[in-house]
Structure 1
Amino acid sequence: MRSVLEEIKSRLDIVEVISAYIPLSKAGQNYRGLCPFHTEKTPSFMVSPSRQIYHCFGCGSGGDVFTFLIKYENLSFQEAMDLLAKKAGVTLKRSQKDALKKGERETLLNLHRDALLFYQQSLLQSPEAIEYLRRRGINSEAQRLFSLGYAPQMADALFSHLKGKGYELETIKKAGLVSSGTKGYYDTFRHRVIFPIFDLRGEVIAFGGRVIDPKDEPKYLNSKETPIFNKGSVLYGLNLAKESMKKLKYAILTEGYFDVITPHMHGFSNTAAPLGTAFTQEHGRLIKRFVEDVVLVFDADPAGLRAAKNALGILLQCGLNVKVLSLPEGEDPDSLLRKQGKEAFGDLLSKTLPLVDFFMLQEGDTHSIARDALEVISKIPDSILQGHYVKLLSERLKINELFIREELRKMKNASKLRDTNIQRQNYTPEGLIRSRPREEIYILQLLLNFLSSDSYQPEKAERIFDSVSEEDFEDLLLRSIFKKMKNALMDYNALISECEEEERNFLTELSFKDEPSDAEKLLADCLNRLKNKKTQRLLHELQDRIKEAELKKDRELLRTIQLEQQRLLGLKRH
């Protein structure tokens, strides 16, 4: 397995792979960019072409090309390996692929595929569900495009089907497709139109259901979160909309299943929506992968205004340009398009509101409108754009621009303090390094330098391995890394692959530190310090044994221990 991983890595350039997702600029021997894993204004994400690693000095995330793809694309290791193998031109043997695809994730994906086929077949056999979709204006082409289905009214229809396909009860429960009751297990979705939820690669990972009978509750129901589904990182319809978004250079974001399907039917195929939840940072980062401009569609009621304000702040913070489409009262994209057609919706799109105009729609006094607007404006990473909106806000509200700028400054300072406190809780620059024994850190840094391809010196690494043992490391994290270094057969890339997340983050951070000017002197000092620390530990242990021997009045044992103590004291003096 390792040889396959290393062959893939050897054929790829991490800079080329990562720059396909985020812009990178040259920074000395390395490359720098804005971290895709947290929101930041100053680039702290570094990529090393010589060591084929990345590390963010803002959030602490680090790793290799596999780690990046797994985290950025939300892939399993198997999926990342398949994708990178294809990119590198490496053919995976069938047995290797089969071995990789075993496991929980693939089983859950297979189960969801089988559940989808069952729901689709059930729709064809349900005149009631087909009639409901017809009344909602959903034609057969849209049904096929969005893979719509139907969950039968029978309590355990899907459960029985999946059991018949050989799936274990625990797997079906883990997928969230059954629940337990007094009479056994019953389907989560019953007598509902089913909306399959797909990831960006077109894999079905969850389901949404809408009641057909208006007396049933709740009206909408989504799959629970599972190992393959997190609703805060998925947008409904994005798998279909992403290419149109790139082509049209903007995205339309709405609020529900029908508010995505109906626009697609009318030619607005760049439409997507969150899954019954507020917009998240992950949603913003997802959109930014495809476009820079967003039109946010919201209902013109108080709840819609609140949702739009929340989404605005997040999307702007992610560096997106956002305009707002305010719908007529009582309308949503689905109802508007069905009643008034494509031209009416297109006309509204041409009249989208800039940020400041959106806030002018809100009820309230001038002060509250200004504060609400500034709360969102403060999240814009571009200071020039911030200044533009401050000027507009001043003009529209007829408030002195200096007062608005002062209020914005206070907000930004308060926000910065909150962010700093949060960051300190999670990660601080050199947070994984600073609090650990320096000599142990230096030993690992020297080993990294000796084992990396750009300064490969295996004989010096061997010298350290011969002189230092795992027990010489007091810090458990560093001890574990040292052990893996020794087991990695002096292969730096293999080492990164073997490490757990915290170990990998530590190593990538350490890899970006400047090399010591006098490695030989530093190594000698570190070995001496480790030796003295080990001697000191042994002396403490002997002191405890002396007390025990004195309590037992064992003179012979006491004499033996004291001789060993004198020997160690002699070593310490030298």
Structure 2
Amino acid sequence: MPYISEDKINEVKDQIDIVNLISEYIDLKQSGSNYIGLCPFHNEKTPSFTVSSQKRIFHCFGCGEGGDAISFIMKKENLSYPEAIQFLADKLGIFLETGKVDKELYEHRKILYAINNEAKLYFFHNLLTNTIPKKYIKERGLDRTFINKYMIGYATGNAQGLLNHLLKKGYKVEDMIELGLVKKSSKSNSLYDAFRNRLIFPITDIRKNIIGFGGRTLVDDRAKYINSPESLIYHKSNNIYGVGNLQNASKKNKIILVEGYMDVISLSNNGIDYCVASLGTALTKEQAKLISRYSKNIYICYDGDDAGIKAAERAMEIFAELNINPYIVQIPDGLDPDDYVKKYGKNAFDNLLENSLNPILYKYRNLLNSYNLKDIDQKVEFLEKLAKLLSDIESKLTRDEYISRFSKDLDIDNESLLQEVDKISNNMNKKDTSNLLKVDKKIYNSNKTNMKLKLIESLRFVLFNNPIANRIIEESDFLKNETKYWTLCLEIIQNINLNDDLKHQIQSLNLDSDIEKIFNKVLKIKDFTEYTNIDSANKYINSLRVEGLIYKRDELKEQFSLLEENENLTDDLKIVYSNLAMDILKLNKEIKKFDKN
């Protein structure tokens, strides 16, 4: 997100009514000059949550949470500081002038949101006045409450119904086409509605804007589902269906990830209102990050068919990259969550959650189901793959626990399985250790970095990006070992006034000539935009983080090299040697994660 000026932040703060804002989330009652209600951040029966309209703050005397409108939205919607400001600005209709967004684009985005909202109302009205969707909804056993909650709609068979409705409202055809609501025939150039004879599922973002639609056919159509295309306001890989349920997930501290719209709605219909779906696409890293902001207790509940199993395995890999181990819910008989909960009810589904498996047990069960252990050859192949699965577990304590458990389960010798796993682990470590001292050819190589240039770049960000300066200083900490000027330069920055002429102030300090040269280069730029931009600063922080890791790793490599040259290591030094190797491997893994991103 781009840099937001202090003036614009104050404009948002001045215009937002904190009482009205918080009233959208909880019931508030006036008590004297303040308002009180039940705290949205912890469970309580007696109201201890107080909002002051005059002071524009809130405070809970039960759990201690407090702050202004921005901090409330950050906490309630799980947003960063810039995201919360954007959230409130959108609500107020304030344009945040930044280096990245122009006003025309902003106004165009507002028009697209308005068109989608009007389309949502049109589809919803169609559902209320047509028997076809009502019959389908009745057959699915959906309660009217949930029809309203998800604003489910209906697209009739009228080829230009929505088109004509939006034209009457004064909207442009080119905007309807951009949103994928209307299409143009390649043969006749005639216009027609993209969604016809379909149940419609509006898709919202975290700010409750309608960003797109999904449509399920109610007739014999070759495409069971169609979805809105990518647009200025809709990016499938960054959004999820059922985002409103994430608030419930925060309260229950768990999230169920399912495949489709009807799964989310059907489970909600049965009292399981903390489900989201990945919009008909394979789960993306952006979606996983969004989900994990609300809870780390994630239950993957995909369909029980082969496609569902593969999708679950891919989702596990994505969550693993975020250091999250999800639970996998196995639905029997090849059913999907929607069918299962309708057939067996909420209690049965809750039991599935209780018996869900972590990734290791899930992969173990899948291995078991893939082999006939009565056949010698298949059993040998199975045990080889099991040993590989176990060798991937980093914690020795955890690995040994699973070895013991699986040995009992399979009625095999514990020691034999342990030896096989250790053999694979040792081979992997030898392979990795032999590469420890190779020259790293990645773009981030601290040995080739000019530390003075890095110092200059860091100081520019610190000078011109105060909101993020502390993070830059923290990640630049390794520079103090490479350049004697780092700490002194920081002290100088803390004692100068950014609002006055910086060059004049630096000259008046009578600095060492080398330090003055550094500051002259720091200030020798015409355009400060890059350094005041939050996105640029965040990218720079990531590059610093990688350089810091590489710097640390290279220090360990030097120690490792010294020990490797010694042919007569004592037992104590052998332990140090082994630990160094493992530490370097761990740092390599961390560095590779950044390379993937």
Does TM-score exceed 0.5, indicating one fold?
A: yes
- Among residues 220, 223, 231, which one is paired with 2:228 in the alignment? 223
Q: Which amino acid counterpart does residue 231 of structure 1 have in structure 2?
A: K
- Who is 2:417 aligned against? 400
Question: Residue 412 of structure 1: CA displacement?
Answer: 9.1
C-alpha distance in structure 2 between counterparts of 1:254 and 1:93, whole Å: 34
Question: Residue 503 of structure 1: CA displacement?
Answer: 7.4
Summarize the Cα distance change of 1:188–1:322 in structure 2 as closer, same or farther, 3 Å threshold.
same
Q: How does 1:267-282 map to 2 (within 5 A)?
A: 267-282=271-286
Question: Residue 306 of structure 1: CA displacement?
Answer: 1.6
Q: Which amino acid counterpart does residue 300 of structure 1 have in structure 2?
A: G
C-alpha distance in structure 2 between counterparts of 1:105 and 1:450, whole Å: 34
- Who is 2:194 aligned against? 188
Kindly provide the CA deviation profile for residues 239-267 of structure 1, in whole angstroms up to 9, marking residues without a partner as x.
22x12222222222222222111111111
Q: How does 1:74-473 map to 2 (within 5 A)?
A: 80-83=84-87, 102-181=106-185, 182-183=187-188, 184-213=190-219, 215-240=220-245, 242-358=246-362, 359-361=364-366, 362-364=369-371, 365=378, 388-389=401-402, 392=405, 396=409, 398=412, 400-407=417-424, 428=444, 454-456=494-496, 458=500, 460-462=502-504
SS of match in other structure, 2:307: helix
Kindly provide the CA deviation profile for residues 145-201 of structure 1, in whole angstroms up to 9, marking residues without a partner as x.
111000111112222222222222222222122222123122221110001112223
- Who is 1:4 aligned against? 7
- Who is 2:486 aligned against? none
CA contact (8 A) 1:317 1:381 kept: no
C-alpha distance in structure 2 between counterparts of 1:417 and 1:221, whole Å: 52
CA RMSD of aligned residues (A): 4.8
CA contact (8 A) 1:444 1:482 kept: no
C-alpha distance in structure 1 between counterparts of 2:79 and 2:172, whole Å: 26
Q: Which amino acid counterpart does residue 363 of structure 1 have in structure 2?
A: S
Question: Residue 327 of structure 1: CA displacement?
Answer: 1.6
Kindly provide the CA deviation profile for residues 377-406 of structure 1, in whole angstroms up to 9, marking residues without a partner as x.
788787865665566556556461243355
CA contact (8 A) 1:163 1:169 kept: yes
Q: Which amino acid counterpart does residue 461 of structure 1 have in structure 2?
A: K
Kindly provide the CA deviation profile for residues 275-317 of structure 1, in whole angstroms up to 9, marking residues without a partner as x.
2122222232222212222222233332222222222222233
CA contact (8 A) 1:450 1:456 kept: no
Question: Residue 513 of structure 1: CA displacement?
Answer: 10
C-alpha distance in structure 2 between counterparts of 1:332 and 1:93, whole Å: 42
Summarize the Cα distance change of 1:114–1:450 in structure 2 as closer, same or farther, 3 Å threshold.
closer
CA contact (8 A) 2:305 2:335 kept: no
CA contact (8 A) 1:317 1:380 kept: no
C-alpha distance in structure 2 between counterparts of 1:230 and 1:408, whole Å: 41
- Who is 2:526 aligned against? 483
Aligned residues: 423
SS of match in other structure, 1:179: strand
Summarize the Cα distance change of 1:449–1:118 in structure 2 as closer, same or farther, 3 Å threshold.
closer
Question: Residue 132 of structure 1: CA displacement?
Answer: 1.2
C-alpha distance in structure 2 between counterparts of 1:232 and 1:412, whole Å: 36
CA contact (8 A) 2:444 2:546 kept: no
Ranked by relative contact order (alpha carbons within 8 Å, sequence separation 6 or more), the top structure is: 1
SS of match in other structure, 1:197: strand
CA contact (8 A) 2:200 2:214 kept: yes
Q: Which amino acid counterpart does residue 187 of structure 1 have in structure 2?
A: D
SS of match in other structure, 2:271: coil
Q: Which amino acid counterpart does residue 230 of structure 1 have in structure 2?
A: H
Summarize the Cα distance change of 1:330–1:354 in structure 2 as closer, same or farther, 3 Å threshold.
same
Summarize the Cα distance change of 1:102–1:304 in structure 2 as closer, same or farther, 3 Å threshold.
closer
C-alpha distance in structure 1 between counterparts of 2:320 and 2:503, whole Å: 49
C-alpha distance in structure 1 between counterparts of 2:180 and 2:260, whole Å: 21
Question: Residue 117 of structure 1: CA displacement?
Answer: 0.8
Summarize the Cα distance change of 1:460–1:121 in structure 2 as closer, same or farther, 3 Å threshold.
closer
CA contact (8 A) 2:260 2:278 kept: yes
Q: Which amino acid counterpart does residue 7 of structure 2 have in structure 1?
A: V
Q: Which amino acid counterpart does residue 494 of structure 2 have in structure 1?
A: D
SS of match in other structure, 1:227: coil
Deviates most, 177-186 or 505-514: 505-514
C-alpha distance in structure 1 between counterparts of 2:171 and 2:388, whole Å: 50
Kindly provide the CA deviation profile for residues 519-560 of structure 1, in whole angstroms up to 9, marking residues without a partner as x.
xxxxxxxxxxxxxxxxxxxxxxxxxxxxxxxxxxxxxxxxxx
Question: Residue 482 of structure 1: CA displacement?
Answer: 1.5
CA contact (8 A) 2:258 2:277 kept: yes
**Unpaired stretches in structure 2, ≥5 consecutive residues:** 15-69, 372-377, 467-492, 508-520, 549-597
Kindly provide the CA deviation profile for residues 31-75 of structure 1, in whole angstroms up to 9, marking residues without a partner as x.
xxxxxxxxxxxxxxxxxxxxxxxxxxxxxxxxxx99xx9xx9899
Question: Residue 508 of structure 1: CA displacement?
Answer: 8.8
Question: Residue 342 of structure 1: CA displacement?
Answer: 2.0
Summarize the Cα distance change of 1:328–1:390 in structure 2 as closer, same or farther, 3 Å threshold.
same
Summarize the Cα distance change of 1:274–1:455 in structure 2 as closer, same or farther, 3 Å threshold.
same
Summarize the Cα distance change of 1:371–1:308 in structure 2 as closer, same or farther, 3 Å threshold.
farther
C-alpha distance in structure 1 between counterparts of 2:355 and 2:541, whole Å: 52
CA contact (8 A) 1:208 1:223 kept: yes
SS of match in other structure, 1:195: strand
Q: Could you tell me the percent identity over the aligned residues? A: 26
C-alpha distance in structure 2 between counterparts of 1:481 and 1:187, whole Å: 56
Summarize the Cα distance change of 1:321–1:219 in structure 2 as closer, same or farther, 3 Å threshold.
same
Summarize the Cα distance change of 1:366–1:204 in structure 2 as closer, same or farther, 3 Å threshold.
farther
Q: Which amino acid counterpart does residue 162 of structure 1 have in structure 2?
A: L
CA contact (8 A) 1:294 1:322 kept: yes
C-alpha distance in structure 2 between counterparts of 1:202 and 1:152, whole Å: 25
Kindly provide the CA deviation profile for residues 123-152 of structure 1, in whole angstroms up to 9, marking residues without a partner as x.
112111111111121221121111100011
Question: Residue 410 of structure 1: CA displacement?
Answer: 6.6
SS of match in other structure, 1:484: coil
C-alpha distance in structure 1 between counterparts of 2:405 and 2:148, whole Å: 46
